Amino acid sequence: MNRIRLISLLCFLLVCAPAAQAQVRIISREKLDSVSNPKLAPNSNALEFDRLHIAAEPMTEDDAPESFTYTFRNLSQSSLTVSRIVSTCSCVQATCDRKVVAPGEYATVKVVYDPKGHPGSFERKIFIYTDENIQPSATLRLSVKVSSGADKSGQFPVDMGKIRLRSNEVKVSARARSVQTLVYMNVSDAPLTLRCEDMLLPSCLQFRSEPETVGKGEEGQIVITYDPAADGKKRKEYLLVLKDMGLPPSQSSIKIKVE
């Protein structure tokens, strides 16, 4: 690096560093804890729950949403208003069967958990707010263990119409013949024979699908072969356009990067 480039780089860093520091927000451990484990409101002892934690039976993503109930009683000498209920995940919907709970009266919080799209082991929290308190009056916990369902489409985030892929990009070597594969799922309503636009395929690339025909909901592999000896253009990037995806070429292309 020559002296002029070095001086330019140093000037760039000096100018950008204050701006970068201004954009970084450091959140303390106490602040994080206050979000996930907030302090309870002063009137928290007015709510007596039959249980604060439920461990659900194991379920799968294919199971229907399941309901759980937490019953509480108002131990105070005045009525309590359930102002809002907040959960830590959109997969949890919670409601209370009454807005105002009189002294000595019982009420039920119904929690509905939807496992679709949420595989794994989690603990979800539900915060119950009463009256005008800015802190919750109770924190309920729901432990769930969800295994993956038969629908694996969530494992293939790239949508290309009739198929979904884990990735739409591969890297090949400019020095040696390379063979790369991409796993895809047939999400169409019928068996699919995957093709590419041969007219747009450069001579240095070969395309095939294994198996040639993939059934509905089944997985296949796109096999891409790159031969640098046949690459007369020596580009850094090529596009392989899939055929009959029902999408424009820009949305049904696989990117091949030559490195």
| Tokens, residue 258 | 């030559």
151 residue type, one letter: D
Q: What is the pTM of this model?
A: 0.51
Q: What is the DSSP letter of 151?
A: -
| Tokens, residue 150 | 């038969």
* Of residues 76, 128, 75, 119, the one with CA closest to residue 98: 128
Cα–Cα distance between 259 and 251 in angstroms, integer?
23
In this predicted structure, what is the pLDDT of residue 118? 80
* Of residues 179, 207, 178, the one with CA closest to residue 193: 207
Place of tokens 């909901």: 217
User: Taking the mean position of all CA atoms in its chain, how far away is CA 9?
Assistant: 38
Q: By CB neighbour count within 10 A (0-12 exposed, 13-18 middle, 19+ buried), where does 35 fall?
A: exposed
244 residue type, one letter: D
Domains and their CATH numbers in the chain = 38-147 (2.60.40.10), 154-258 (2.60.40.10)
User: Taking the mean position of all CA atoms in its chain, how far away is CA 16?
Assistant: 32
Per-residue pLDDT of the chain (259 residues; tens, 9 = 90+): 455 454 454 454 444 444 434 444 444 444 444 456 789 999 899 999 999 999 999 999 889 999 999 999 999 999 999 999 999 888 999 999 999 999 999 999 999 999 987 878 889 999 999 999 999 999 999 999 988 777 666 778 899 999 999 899 999 999 989 899 999 989 899 999 999 999 989 999 999 999 999 998 888 999 999 999 999 989 999 999 999 998 898 899 999 999 9
| Tokens, residue 24 | 């970084």
Enclosing H/E stretch for 85: strand 80-87
Enclosing H/E stretch for 12: helix 3-23
Enclosing H/E stretch for 95: strand 92-96
Specify whether the CB–CB gap between 142 and 126 falls below 8 A. Answer: yes
186 residue type, one letter: N
